[in-house]
């Protein structure tokens, strides 16, 4: 967790990419829907906290570990998300809503054995609107049990939901106090209606967040240490991202189902920055920066499954649209008078429509079998206008190399997955996919490209004695191009312009994964994951002919990592009702730098090491705990700059919950307990990094200080 050092909305874009750092698993096999026939399962009875010991212990059978609802009673969960967070050794892998098409956007959670058909909602959002009382049990098994989107993943979690009729729901209100005394309210709720074999889910959230960051920038010449200027800054950030979702499902059997989902999510991000600048020479300034960002998202999707022969045929359709308008202004001011500045206007619209048809069967000639194909059409229209502001407010247009463009893509992917049990303990899964992409760029530049790739993959899964489990996976992947990388852009908060590159091509990789896990301390889990990637056409930063820093392909690279997870109760160590979670990752990556000719790390939010820890205790009416996050520096290599991001110390969150009754939870969260800052160190080279030493250093420090959030959750 790296705090905001972008001074603006750009942090949201980069944070979503950072979350993908280790979500690199392989893919294959057949879906196994786990839901019972409609009405055949009663809703689980409430279970006392003591029932979570002994009889409610998880059981393993047929490659699946099952956790009954009673196992989670001690945690007093309100939603399915609360339950999933307490599954030993499991970490939610968020689906990537920015991925075009359906195949690459899966996470690692399924509902009644089937993948959610929505792309625009995160798994956290989907799970948070399912009442905990509707969860019969949790099943944890290898990904090949749940279809081609998950094959190759060492763990996928299946939530088995009750089919009993009735109405249940959840309402949560919260109030966050930032260090200035500003109080930010938020309200969210959901209701689930089960009637006549159908399930209807409605949810809404006000999506309000606020934050005040205080800090400074210190700019110096490196050779002499002489200060160029010092800036005192205050960022006031106000976010309103309401959302409204509705879904309907009908699941009479494991081979017959229908789902429909709708979502509407308007939004507004606003940043106001005050900036008192003290230069080494010249008058002091009171500069201003304001950003207004208005994204709006719409989605409609659904799927239908029917028996066909010995298997199941399934069709998925989805359409989504994202409108975005941004207006950024920066003013340089002396004695209250504007002496210069910039204005940036961005208007974009992204559309996607896709369809996917697949057929799967549990046994064809001795193999589990799935074949399918999808077609997706994607279109981005973008217009960017950059102006220089003169004294008195006069505007002068600044032309960017590619500031108006339209990107169209027709993308297909067809695949075949085969799986076979080689022995009672060993299973082989294989996959062959073929992807095509027809890209067309028009506007300030033109490009036409036809791309096609084979993507094979294989997975070996072994279930050993005494709970041992190992999986080896190898696959070829092809990254998707970010349409915005074709376009030029400006960052007023960072005083820089990014070039666009219409000649960018996707990077490709051979990925290898080995995962080994075993039970520890009773119901705990210890897991080790090793990975190695060999990448060609690595996407990084290049110098364009026009002299701009832009995304580009720079050659071949390698990445290796090791990740360790420990998630265990501490009862056997004498700490009753206490659980410890530890996650740590070490990774290294390298590529030949096109500017210096030397090997360096990739330009990415992939730190050399990071860890997180959680310690919590759950009593009858109380729960309390602490979470700690820490990572090494993240580095971005630009043409004339090295950009480093770090925190000044470990980021700590503490919480306490009180449950006056079974349906009510009062919770206090204290964020940034250690009062750490987000820090950023920018090193500038003249004319670029081909010179040995940087010329100027800019050091940024931002601190949101301690924040308190009091929330009240009520289920019904």
572-610: per-residue pLDDT in tens? Answer: 999 999 999 999 999 999 999 999 999 999 998 999 999
Res 124: pLDDT: 84
- Rounded-to-integer distance, Cα 561 and Cα 608, Å: 9
d(Cα 504, Cα 218) in Å, to the nearest integer?
A: 36
Q: What is the pLDDT of residue 127?
A: 87
Cα 43 from Cα 63, distance rounded (Å): 26
In this prediction, residue 603 carries a pLDDT of: 92
Assess whether pLDDT exceeds 90 at residue 152.
no
Q: Of the candidates 253, 254, 252, 219, which has an alpha carbon nearest to the alpha carbon of residue 233?
A: 219
Instruction: Compute φ and ψ for 328, nearest 5 degrees.
Output: -115, 140
For the stretch 640-681, pLDDT in tens is 999 999 999 999 999 999 999 989 999 999 999 999 999 999
Average pLDDT, the chain: 88
Question: Cβ(394)–Cβ(426) under 8 Å?
Answer: no
- 400 pLDDT more than 50: yes
Mean pLDDT of 137-164: 85
Strands (E), 280-310: 285-308
Structure tokens that stand for 377 in this block: 């059409």
Q: How confident is the model at residue 55 (pLDDT cuts 50, 70, 90)?
A: very low
Q: How far apart are the first and last CA of the chain?
A: 34
- Cis peptide, bond prior to residue 687, ω within 30 of zero: yes
The answer, yes or no, to whether residue 490 has pLDDT greater than 80, is: yes
Token pair for residue 97?
């809503």
Query: In Å, how far are 31, 157, 363, 422, 434 from 367, measured between CA atoms?
Result: 13, 23, 5, 10, 21
Predicted local confidence at residue 431, as pLDDT: 95
pTM of the full predicted structure? 0.85
Nearest one of 160, 163, 222, 221 to 195, comparing CA atoms: 163
Q: Using alpha carbons, select from 27, 12, 17, 15 the residue that is nearest to residue 480.
A: 17
Domains and CATH numbers, the chain: 10-195+210-446+457-715 (2.40.170.20)
């Amino acid at each position: 967790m790296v705090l905001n050092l972008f001074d603006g909305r750009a942090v949201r874009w980069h944070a979503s990419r950072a979350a993908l750092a280790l979500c690199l698993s392989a893919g294959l096999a057949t879906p196994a829907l786990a839901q019972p026939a409609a009405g055949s399962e009663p809703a689980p009875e409430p279970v006392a906290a003591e029932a979570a010991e002994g009889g409610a212990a998880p059981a393993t059978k047929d490659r699946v570990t099952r956790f009954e609802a009673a196992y989670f009673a001690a945690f007093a969960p309100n939603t399915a998300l609360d339950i999933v967070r307490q599954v030993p050794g499991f970490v939610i892998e968020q689906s990537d809503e920015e991925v075009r098409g359906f195949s690459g956007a899966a996470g690692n959670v399924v509902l009644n054995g089937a993948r959610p058909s929505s792309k625009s909602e995160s798994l956290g959002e989907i799970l948070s609107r399912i009442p905990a009382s509707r969860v019969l049990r949790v099943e944890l098994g290898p990904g090949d049990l749940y279809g081609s989107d998950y094959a190759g993943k060492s763990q996928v979690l299946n939530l088995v939901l009750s089919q009993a009729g009735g109405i249940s729901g959840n309402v949560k209100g919260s109030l966050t106090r930032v260090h200035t005394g500003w109080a930010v309210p938020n309200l969210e709720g959901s209701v689930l209606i089960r009637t006549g074999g159908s399930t209807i889910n409605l949810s809404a959230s006000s999506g309000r967040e606020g934050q005040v960051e205080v800090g400074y920038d210190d700019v110096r010449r490196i050779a002499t240490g002489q200060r160029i200027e010092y800036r005192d800054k205050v960022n006031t950030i106000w976010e309103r991202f309401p959302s409204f979702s509705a879904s309907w499902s009908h699941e009479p059997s494991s081979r017959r189902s229908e789902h429909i989902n709708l979502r509407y999510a308007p939004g507004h991000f606003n940043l106001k920055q005050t900036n008192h600048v003290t230069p080494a020479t010249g008058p002091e300034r009171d500069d201003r920066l304001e950003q207004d960002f208005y994204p709006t998202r719409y989605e409609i999707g659904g799927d239908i499954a029917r028996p066909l022969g010995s298997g199941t045929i399934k069709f998925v359709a989805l359409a989504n649209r994202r409108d975005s308008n941004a207006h950024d202004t920066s003013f340089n001011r002396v004695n209250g008078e504007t002496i210069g500045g910039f204005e940036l206007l961005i208007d974009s619209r992204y559309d996607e429509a896709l369809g996917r048809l697949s057929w799967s069967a549990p046994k064809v000639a001795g193999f589990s079998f799935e074949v399918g194909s999808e077609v997706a059409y994607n279109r981005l229209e973008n217009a960017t206008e950059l102006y220089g502001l003169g004294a008195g407010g006069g505007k002068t247009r600044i032309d960017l190399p590619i500031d108006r463009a339209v990107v169209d893509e027709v993308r297909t992917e067809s695949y075949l997955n085969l799986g076979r049990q080689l022995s009672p303990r060993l299973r082989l899964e294989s996959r062959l996919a073929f992807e095509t992409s027809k890209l067309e760029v028009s506007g300030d530049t033109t490009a036409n490209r036809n791309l096609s790739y084979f993507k094979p993959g294989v997975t070996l899964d072994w279930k050993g004695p005494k709970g041992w489990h190992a999986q080896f996976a190898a696959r070829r992947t092809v990254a998707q191009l970010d349409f915005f990388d074709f376009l030029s852009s400006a960052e007023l908060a960072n005083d820089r312009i990014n070039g666009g590159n219409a000649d960018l091509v996707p990077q490709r990789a051979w990925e290898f994964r080995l995962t080994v896990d075993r039970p520890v301390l009773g119901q705990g889990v210890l897991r080790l994951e090793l990975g190695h990637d060999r990448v060609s056409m690595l996407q990084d930063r290049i110098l364009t002919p026009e002299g701009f820093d832009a995304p580009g392909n720079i050659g071949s690279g390698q990445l290796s990592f090791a990740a360790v997870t420990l998630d265990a109760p501490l009862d056997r160590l004498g700490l009753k009702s206490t659980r410890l979670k530890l996650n740590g990752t070490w990774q290294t990556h390298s590529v030949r730098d096109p500017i210096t000719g030397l090997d360096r790390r990739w330009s990415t939010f992939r730190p050399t090491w990071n860890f997180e820890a959680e310690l919590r205790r759950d009593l009858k009416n109380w729960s309390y705990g602490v979470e700690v996050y820490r990572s090494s520096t993240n580095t971005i290599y630009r043409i004339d700059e090295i950009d480093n991001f770090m925190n000044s110390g470990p980021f700590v969150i503490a919480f306490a919950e009180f449950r006056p009754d079974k349906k009510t939870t009062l919770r206090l969260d204290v964020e940034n307990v250690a009062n750490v800052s987000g820090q950023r160190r920018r090193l500038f080279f003249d004319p670029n990094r081909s010179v040995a030493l940087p010329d100027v250093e800019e050091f940024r420090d931002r601190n949101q200080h301690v924040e308190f959030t009091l929330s009240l959750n009520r289920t019904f």
